Each structure stands twice: as structure tokens, then as C-alpha cells.
């Protein structure tokens, strides 16, 4: 359960991520600010290239610098300023404070070591424990993520497992250090629909059981509708809107959020024509002036093209950046 009285586990203020190139720079993230409290679940949605994954990789200090240039007024994880953290502090943070699971589980495992070896070594890297005790804990973790033949999976190599099984094993490895927040970056995109539903339910159940925070990064509004408390909508490297999940679906305020809503199948199974968003996402190496969504927005006018809208507070937990809020 969310504890809004506690210190946020994640604090992001004016985060900017740039990738210099021979000609110009790619401005992947442009002034993102948000927070996550203990036990809270947050959905981060937007089209490909919106900056959602890069933002959270910056929080974890997983972006190689160079080429990445990361700036922030504040970037804290479990009270530690990530930008000033030493390597030893980062190693501790990337396990105890936060863990990240990715869209492609093959990227999380070394193909030359067994699943068990990698989970065991992760446990022992963060806690003083024997190999025998770590193996017992790894076995328990695999069983908790609903892997039935856990003993056999411990001694299997990554290439011997299906995509769904690998995803469960990756979740088990992420949970092995008992993180305060789990960051899930498109965790079900490569899986079939049935397995997707199982993995999402598993993540939600584990969050409730362990009391950890959850960040669900996805392009799928259907996923966030069922798994999170609060949603941040990103576009062009910026936050367009933020709201409690129920309020966002019942009353989306930003034109981009509304456009996303009508571009996905109906949640109630009804028949209606889907409406695509015209145009293409902005080029991060040459973002438009003013509101980043104005070239595709049906409500845009001269002010939208010339001036970047400020972030307006619309109510408790609600904010949006638009000159034409309704």
C-alpha cells in the first residue's frame, strides 16, 4: 500500500538526457520531474521514443557516459543522490533500493552460466550468505514466480527456457535482493497474450506481497489500466499529463492523452472505429518549438507552436502541460 507520508523512494527533478552526435544532439529526455512513494505503483506510458525507458535507465545510472550526458536538479534513489554516488553505492542501490526487468529477458542473463548460478551470485553479491543458503533462496524465488520444476530450472541455461519462463526467472533474479522498487520496462511485449496476463498478475501479486513500489513502463494503456495507481504520460521527452489511473481514463485532460485513448481498442469489447494519431513522433535531434505535440494536435494554434506550456496543477495528483486544457 502506498505511503504518501514517507520520503519518496524515487525523486526526479528536471531530468535531462542528451546524446551528442557529429551533427547536433539527440535530446531524449527534456525536463522530467516526478516522484514515487514506497508501495506505490506508477505507469509510464507513451509512444516509442518518448523518453520513458531512458528516464528510468538514468535513475539507475545504466546509461553509459559518454555518450550519454545526464543532468538533473535532483535524482535520488532511496535518499541517495545518484549523480554523486560512488560505484560501491551504485552497486548497493541496484539491488536493495531498485531492480529493473527488461522487455528481452535474454539481455539479463549471461548465456554461458546457468540460471541458478546467476541468481545465486546476485544474492551473494548483496548479502553475506553461504552458497548453500543462496541456492535454497534462489529455489524459493523461482517457486514464488510460479515456476513448477524450479530445481531443474536452476541448473538450466537461458537458451533452454521459453520466453515466458525466462521472464519469470528474470523477475526472480530482480527480487533476489528484496528491492524497495521494481522497474518493469515493457516486460510482456515479446510474450503471447495468455503469458502476458500471467506475468502482469504475477508482478502485481508480488508487489502486494512484498510491499515494494512498482514502475510499469509501457506503450500499452490496457496494461496500466489493470496494474497501477497513477499514470505519467510522456511525449517527446517530456511529461504531458499525470493523474490517478481511474481519473486519467475517465477524464483525460491533455489532447495527446485523449488521442492515445481513441487509438486503442475499446476496453469493454464494443465495436468502434480506431482513430490513429496523424503524423509522426518528433525527431529528438530536432524537436519542435513550443508544445512538442502541437504538429499533430487538432487543437493547436499559434501559441502552441511558439511557447512551451507550463505544467499546470489540476487537482490532487493531477497535472498537465497544455495551453488548451479542457
Assess if residue 87 is contained within a domain: yes
Task: Please say if the pLDDT value at position 3 is more than 70.
Answer: no
Q: Cα separations (Å) of 191 from 143, 165, 186?
A: 20, 10, 10
Assess if residue 281 is contained within a domain: yes
Task: Please say if the pLDDT value at position 267 is more than 70.
Answer: no
pLDDT tens digits, residue range 146-180? 888 999 999 999 999 988 889 889 989 988 888 99
Task: Please say if the pLDDT value at position 269 is more than 50.
Answer: no
Contact, 125 vs 95, CB < 8 A?
Answer: yes
Looking at per-residue pLDDT, the higher value among 107 and 61 belongs to: 61
Element (H, E) at 81: strand 80-81
Task: Please say if the pLDDT value at position 38 is more than 60.
Answer: yes
Domain boundaries, position 229 = 10-321
Number of domains the chain contains: 1
Give the three-class secondary structure for 273: coil
Task: Please say if the pLDDT value at position 254 is more than 90.
Answer: yes
pLDDT bin (cut points 50, 70, 90) of residue 1 is low
Helix runs in 78-162, H state only: 87-92, 115-126, 131-144, 150-154
Q: What is the CATH number of the domain that holds 259?
A: 3.40.50.300
Least confident of 23-37, 98-112, 133-147, 241-255: 98-112
Assess if residue 5 is contained within a domain: no
| Per-residue pLDDT at 278 | 84
Tell me the average pLDDT across 189-193: 75
| Per-residue pLDDT at 150 | 92
pLDDT bin (cut points 50, 70, 90) of residue 274 is low
Q: What are phi and psi of 85, to 5 degrees?
A: -70, 140
Half-sphere exposure of 185 (CA within 13 A, CB side): 20
Q: What one-character DSSP code corresponds to residue 176?
A: T
Assess if residue 1 is contained within a domain: no
Give the three-class secondary structure for 116: helix
Cis amide linkage into residue 229, ω under 30° from 0? no
| Per-residue pLDDT at 246 | 95
Residues facing residue 215 across a β-bridge: 42, 183
- Specify the residue for cell string 505544467: 311
Q: What is the pTM of this model?
A: 0.90
Rounded Cα distance between 58 and 43, Å, is 17
| Summary mean pLDDT of the chain | 89
Task: Please say if the pLDDT value at position 9 is more than 60.
Answer: yes
| Per-residue pLDDT at 265 | 61
| Per-residue pLDDT at 51 | 93
Assess if residue 4 is contained within a domain: no
Helix runs in the chain, H state only: 52-59, 87-92, 115-126, 131-144, 150-154, 163-175, 193-210, 221-227, 245-250, 255-261, 302-306
- Residue 149 burial (CB count, 10 A): 11
Task: Please say if the pLDDT value at position 319 is more than 60.
Answer: yes
Assess if residue 190 is contained within a domain: yes
Assess if residue 63 is contained within a domain: yes
Contact, 79 vs 38, CB < 8 A?
Answer: no
Amino acid at each position: 500500500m502506498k505511503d504518501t507520508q514517507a520520503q519518496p523512494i524515487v525523486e526526479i527533478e528536471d531530468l535531462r538526457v542528451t546524446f551528442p552526435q557529429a551533427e547536433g544532439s539527440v535530446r531524449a529526455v527534456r525536463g522530467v520531474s516526478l516522484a514515487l512513494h514506497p508501495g506505490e505503483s506508477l505507469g509510464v506510458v507513451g509512444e516509442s521514443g518518448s523518453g520513458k525507458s531512458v528516464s528510468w535507465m538514468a535513475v539507475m545510472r545504466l546509461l553509459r557516459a559518454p555518450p550519454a550526458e545526464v543532468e538533473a536538479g535532483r535524482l535520488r534513489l532511496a535518499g541517495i543522490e545518484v549523480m554523486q554516488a560512488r560505484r560501491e553505492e551504485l552497486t548497493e542501490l541496484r539491488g536493495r533500493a531498485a531492480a529493473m526487468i527488461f522487455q528481452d529477458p535474454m539481455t539479463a542473463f549471461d548465456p554461458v552460466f546457468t540460471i541458478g548460478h546467476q541468481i545465486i551470485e546476485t544474492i551473494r553479491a548483496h548479502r553475506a550468505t553461504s552458497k548453500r543458503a543462496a541456492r535454497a533462496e534462489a529455489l524459493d524465488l523461482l517457486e514464488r514466480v510460479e515456476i513448477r520444476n524450479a530445481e531443474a530450472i536452476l541448473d538450466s541455461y537461458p537458451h533452454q527456457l521459453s520466453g515466458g519462463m525466462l521472464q519469470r526467472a528474470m523477475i526472480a533474479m530482480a527480487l533476489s535482493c528484496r528491492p524497495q522498487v521494481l522497474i518493469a520496462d515493457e516486460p510482456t511485449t515479446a510474450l503471447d497474450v495468455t503469458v502476458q496476463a500471467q506475468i502482469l498478475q504475477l508482478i502485481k501479486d508480488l508487489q502486494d506481497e512484498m510491499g515494494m513500489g512498482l514502475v510499469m513502463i509501457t506503450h500499452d494503456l490496457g496494461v496500466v489500466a489493470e496494474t497501477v495507481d497513477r499514470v505519467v504520460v510522456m511525449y517527446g521527452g517530456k511529461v504531458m499529463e499525470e493523474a490517478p489511473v481511474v481519473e486519467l481514463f475517465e477524464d483525460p485532460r491533455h489532447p495527446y492523452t485523449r488521442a492515445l485513448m481513441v487509438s486503442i481498442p475499446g476496453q469493454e469489447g464494443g465495436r468502434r472505429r480506431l482513430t490513429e494519431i496523424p503524423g509522426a513522433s518528433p525527431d529528438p535531434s530536432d524537436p519542435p518549438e513550443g508544445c512538442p505535440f502541437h504538429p499533430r494536435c487538432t487543437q493547436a494554434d499559434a501559441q502552441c507552436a511558439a511557447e512551451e506550456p507550463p505544467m499546470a496543477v489540476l487537482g490532487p495528483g493531477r497535472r498537465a502541460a497544455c495551453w488548451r486544457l479542457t
